[in-house]
């Protein structure tokens, strides 16, 4: 058997198995392109339970998912920067759960990591999460218990923190993008922890949805300016989005504002868990339609969605000249002269050349991956010593070496970091985030001020990688 074949083989297999279905699904009309819910209050409830939702065409049966409040993705929580929020999570699943507020710089006890920051919420029980979002931006929430299954079955939703003075746009859209492996009768395919996939790029699906639907087109007006919030809520699929006929400007990544800039080679690269806020001046021709193409996996490129222009003339003659820049968030800047530098080596996986003999097991999982020779598996192991400790207030550089043949969106809880450089080349923009996409064999350095005390997860956000050992804890004392 040739060694390079499993990946292509596997893809071909699933494309064959799912292709009729996936293509039929992709041509369905879009019913709801931006299901934005506004919450007036700052108190709300999330009920985690099984639900049946229409994800693909009406001629298919409804898909059984695990969802918040019976909708997929869960309700969009819109809150104000600096205003306290309280969310009561009610567990109506048959197993324990928690909710993690991804990207939030919040108190450790509210971080939603079972065993580490709280007791898991038992079936029939509830837990109150209360915190005050310090930063405006595009964030999200998701289960952090039985993560691969619970996130993979749909327990996720967007959390939007509004700026006190948002930039002027004509319209705002939110695309929560999810990737599913569906069977011919539109059910989530079983077999979540396939060992072969877990050692490669994870479970890539055959059906991509926007806000819980296989989309066809989004209606737009010529000349309008749209703020588009993109959230990759897939468990494994990386996306590289190209907007035909348009020039998207990135104004924030992972909720943190940046200097407005066009993405490198016109593609917005989003690993699982990553967000981008994009300004789109709709400069296409009235009556025409333009595709948004995801070509990350090369020959498996597909049209995610289309912008369908109304026939009416442009709403303005020239693109809006309103400033795009978002107001800054109060994230502390690391002092690069006094940082403590910590080496983080990502190891294992297929072709990783590592036996993982030293890997330690966490709760119910097999180690396929490791960080500095240690594998924390499952949903974490509270008894494993932290990767390192850092004194509160210190600046810290994570010097991440990807020694594997695979991509890893590495995510740090409770902090936002600045991406310094890749393979020694400085990032061209002042980029911040909570998740950094590390290429195969790449070395990336990120810096942050460890100002938030507690035990914080640092893990890959490809779910099989996380539960398979690409996870650790950083302790801020």
Residue 62 tokens read as 């409804």
Select from Cu ion, ligand C2O, none the partner in contact with residue 186, using the beta carbon and a kind-dependent cut-off of 5 to 8 Å.
none
Nearer to ligand C2O, 243 or 448 (CB): 448
Nearer to Cu ion, 210 or 371 (CB): 371
Q: Is residue 413 part of the contact set for ligand C2O (CB under 6 A)?
A: yes
Q: What is the rounded CA–CA span in Å between residue 375 and residue 467? A: 9
Alpha helices (H) in 98-208, listed in sequence order: 147-152, 195-198
Contact predicate 399/341, CB 8 Å: yes
Which position among 54, 411, 415, 418 is part of the footprint of ligand C2O (CB under 6 A)? 411
Burial of 342 (0-12, 13-18, 19+ CB in 10 A): middle
Q: Is residue 415 part of the contact set for ligand C2O (CB under 6 A)?
A: no
Residue sitting closest to ligand C2O (CB): 102
Nearer to Cu ion, 223 or 378 (CB): 378
- For residue 466, the surrounding DSSP H or E stretch is helix 463-467
222-281: contacts with ligand C2O (CB under 6 A): 273
Vertex 292, ends 289 and 293: CA angle to 5°?
130
What is the Cβ-side half-sphere exposure of residue 476, based on CA atoms within 13 angstroms? 21
Nearest distance in Å: CB 222, ligand C2O: 37
What residues contact 166, with CB distance under 8 A and at least 6 apart?
A: 227, 326
Q: What is the rounded CA–CA span in Å between residue 57 and residue 20? A: 13
The CA R_g of the chain, rounded to the nearest whole Å, is: 21
- DSSP lists the bridge partners of residue 102 as 140
Contact predicate 440/420, CB 8 Å: no
Which position among 105, 181, 413, 445 is part of the footprint of Cu ion (CB under 5 A)? 413
Q: Is residue 460 part of the contact set for Cu ion (CB under 5 A)?
A: yes
Select from Cu ion, ligand C2O, none the partner in contact with residue 273, using the beta carbon and a kind-dependent cut-off of 5 to 8 Å.
ligand C2O
Residue (of 415, 406, 401) closest to 474 by Cα position: 415
Q: What is the rounded CA–CA span in Å between residue 405 and residue 358? A: 20
Nearer to ligand C2O, 242 or 459 (CB): 459
Q: Give me the 116-155 binding string for ligand C2O, x by CB under 6 A, dash otherwise.
A: --------------------------x-x-----------
Nearer to ligand C2O, 374 or 435 (CB): 435
Contact predicate 154/172, CB 8 Å: no
Using the rule CB under 5 A, give the single segment among 11-19, 74-82, 151-159, 404-412 that binds Cu ion.
404-412
Using the rule CB under 6 A, give the single segment among 190-198, 370-378, 390-398, 457-465 that binds ligand C2O.
457-465
Q: Give me the 98-117 binding string for ligand C2O, x by CB under 6 A, dash otherwise.
A: --x-x---------------
- DSSP lists the bridge partners of residue 422 as 425, 444
Contact predicate 445/400, CB 8 Å: yes
Contact predicate 282/267, CB 8 Å: no
Using the rule CB under 6 A, give the single segment among 127-135, 342-350, 422-430, 456-464 that binds ligand C2O.
456-464
Number of residues located near ligand C2O, criterion CB under 6 A:
10
458-477: contacts with ligand C2O (CB under 6 A): 459, 461
Nearest distance in Å: CB 77, ligand C2O: 15
Nearer to ligand C2O, 54 or 105 (CB): 105
- Name the site residues for Cu ion (rule: CB under 5 A): 102, 408, 413, 460, 462, 465
Q: Could you list the residues that contact ligand C2O (CB under 6 A)?
A: 100, 102, 142, 144, 273, 411, 413, 457, 459, 461
């Amino acid at each position: 058997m040739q060694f390079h074949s499993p990946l292509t083989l596997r893809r071909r297999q699933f494309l064959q198995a799912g292709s009729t279905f996936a293509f039929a699904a992709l041509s369905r009309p879009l019913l709801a392109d931006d299901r934005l819910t506004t919450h007036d209050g700052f108190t709300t409830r999330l009920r985690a339970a099984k639900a049946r939702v229409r994800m693909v065409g009406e001629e298919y049966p409804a898909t059984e998912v695990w969802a918040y409040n019976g909708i997929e993705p869960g309700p969009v929580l819109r809150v104000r920067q600096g205003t306290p929020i309280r969310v009561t999570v009610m567990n109506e699943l048959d197993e324990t759960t928690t909710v993690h507020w991804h990207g939030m710089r919040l108190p450790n006890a509210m971080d939603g990591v079972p065993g580490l920051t709280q007791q898991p919420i038992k079936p029939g029980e509830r837990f109150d999460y209360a915190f005050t979002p310090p930063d405006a931006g595009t964030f999200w929430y998701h289960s952090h218990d039985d993560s691969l299954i619970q996130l993979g079955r749909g327990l996720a939703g967007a959390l939007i923190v509004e700026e006190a003075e948002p930039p002027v746009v004509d319209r705002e859209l939110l695309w929560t993008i999810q990737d599913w492996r569906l069977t011919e009768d539109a059910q989530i395919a079983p077999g979540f922890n396939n060992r072969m996939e877990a050692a490669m790029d994870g479970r890539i699906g055959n059906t991509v949805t926007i806000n819980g639907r296989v989309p066809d087109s989004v209606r737009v007006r010529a000349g309008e300016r749209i703020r588009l919030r993109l959230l990759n809520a897939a468990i494994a699929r990386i996306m590289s989005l190209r907007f035909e006929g348009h020039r998207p400007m990135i104004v924030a990544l992972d909720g943190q504002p940046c200097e407005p800039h066009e993405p490198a080679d016109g593609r917005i690269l989003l690993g699982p868990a990553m967000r981008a806020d994009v300004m789109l001046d709709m400069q296409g021709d009235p009556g025409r339609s333009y595709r948004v193409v995801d070509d990350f996996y090369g020959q498996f490129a597909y049209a995610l969605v289309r912008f369908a222009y109304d026939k009416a003339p442009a709403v303005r003659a020239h693109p809006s000249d309103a400033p795009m820049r978002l107001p800054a968030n109060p994230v502390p800047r690391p002092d690069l002269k006094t940082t403590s530098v910590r080496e983080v080596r990502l190891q294992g996986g297929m072709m990783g050349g590592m036996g993982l003999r030293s890997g330690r097991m966490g709760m119910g999982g097999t180690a396929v991956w490791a960080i500095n020779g240690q594998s924390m598996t499952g949903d974490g192991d509270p008894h494993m010593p932290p990767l390192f400790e850092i004194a509160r207030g210190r600046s810290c550089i994570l010097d991440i070496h990807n020694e594997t043949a695979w991509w890893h969106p590495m995510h740090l809880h409770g902090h936002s970091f600045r991406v310094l450089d890749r393979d020694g080349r400085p990032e061209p923009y002042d980029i911040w985030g909570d998740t950094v996409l590390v290429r195969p064999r790449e070395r990336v350095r990120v810096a942050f001020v460890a100002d938030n005390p507690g035990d914080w997860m640092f893990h890959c956000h490809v779910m099989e990688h996380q539960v398979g050992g690409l996870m650790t804890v950083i302790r801020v004392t």
